[in-house]
Amino acid sequence: MYKLSVYSIKGVKKGTINLPKAVEERSNLPLLAQAMRVYEDRQHPGLSRVKTRAEVRISKRKIYRQKGTGGARHGAKSAPIFVGGGVAHGPKGVKKILRLPQQMKRKAMLVGLTSKAKENHLVVVSGVSGIQKTKEAYALINKINDGEEIIAAKCTFIISEKNNLIYRYLRNIKNLNVVSSKDLNSYLTTNAKVTLIDEDALSEIGGNQSVNAEKKETKPETKKVLKIAKTTKSKIVKKSMTRSNTKTVKKTTNKT
């Protein structure tokens, strides 16, 4: 169980609380690295493209005869070996999109939060709704950051859904990433020196996991219902087929 320091909006330490069990996750560095790789890859469009030897605007004639020159055999000046020629095996302008399943994303995010709590770099701020100025938020972050200017160190501030109005007081602070609890990812938690979290946001993150767990439990029941529905449907179809067959038999006997 990890302890989290709790600060007021004035930067005064009020005490400590335990990291909720719903948020705590076992260390998994390969998963965290995988999630960050996917996040960074999705940040750029990847539309760079180069011309091949067929597309470059240069003469395609053979530059000199095949034999008798004493030099290497060459074709056109558009070959990749020459300056101004095409590029071999270059980027084609097609983006290969990397994806990660939702459960893996969430687990990686929780691993990042737990690692910050382990390093004592995850700080809880209570009474966030009382912030009314950017100056107050700036002073709070500097006090929590051991007096070091926020300009010199990256920070992430996680706010809850009900306190999302304080975003306007935080958005102009340099090197501060402000993110809602529902949009939190592993990159923003790990790529910061100090991560500040609203007290309400901490309970929201823990609550989302319990909702996902309930969904997992209900899945097998829905499968059973679908199986029952399929079996009843097949029985009805069989009955209708047998009825139609008996009708045709009766018709043929009447004709004869």
The single-letter code of the amino acid at 30 is P
Decide: residue 239, CB within 10 A, 0-12 exposed, 13-18 middle, 19+ buried. Answer: exposed
> Does 145 score more than 90 pLDDT?
no
State CA 119 to chain mean position distance: 23
- Of 44, 42, 84, the closest CA to residue 63 belongs to 84
CB 215 within 8 A of CB 139: no
Domains plus CATH for the chain?
3-24+103-204 (3.40.1370.10)
How do residues 197-219 score in pLDDT, each as one tens digit? Answer: 988 888 888 776 544 444 444 45
Look at residue 109 in the predicted model and tell me its pLDDT: 92
Q: Which residue has the higher pLDDT, 207 or 135?
A: 135
pTM for the model stands at 0.67
In terms of Cβ atoms closer than 10 Å to its own Cβ (0-12, 13-18, 19+), residue 191 is middle
Average pLDDT, the chain: 82
- The predicted model gives 77-96 an average pLDDT of 92
pLDDT for res 164: 86
The pLDDT, as a whole number, for residue 62 is 95
Which pLDDT value is given to residue 87? Answer: 96
Write down the pLDDT at residue 252. Answer: 53
What confidence score (pLDDT) does residue 218 get?
45
User: Distance (Å, rounded) from C-alpha 204 to C-alpha 161?
Assistant: 8
Q: Per-residue pLDDT for 33 more than 70?
A: yes
- Three-class secondary structure assignment of the chain: CCEEEEECCCCCEEEEEECCCCCCCCCCHHHHHHHHHHHHHCCCCCCCECCCCCCCCCCCCCCCCCCCCCCCCCCCCCCCCCCCCCCCCCCECCCCCCCCCHHHHHHHHHHHHHHHHHCCCEEEECCHHHCCCHHHHHHHHHHHCCCCCHHHCCEEEEECCCCHHHHHHHCCCCCEEEEEHHHCCHHHHHCCCEEEEEHHHHHHHHHHHHHHHHHHHHHHHHHHHHHHHHHHHHHHHHHHHHHHHHHHHHHHHHHC
Please give the residue that has the higher pLDDT: either 211 or 123.
123
Residue 38 pLDDT class (50, 70, 90 cuts): very high
Give residue 3's pLDDT band: very low, low, confident or very high (50, 70, 90). confident
Whether the per-residue pLDDT at 242 is higher than 70: the answer is no
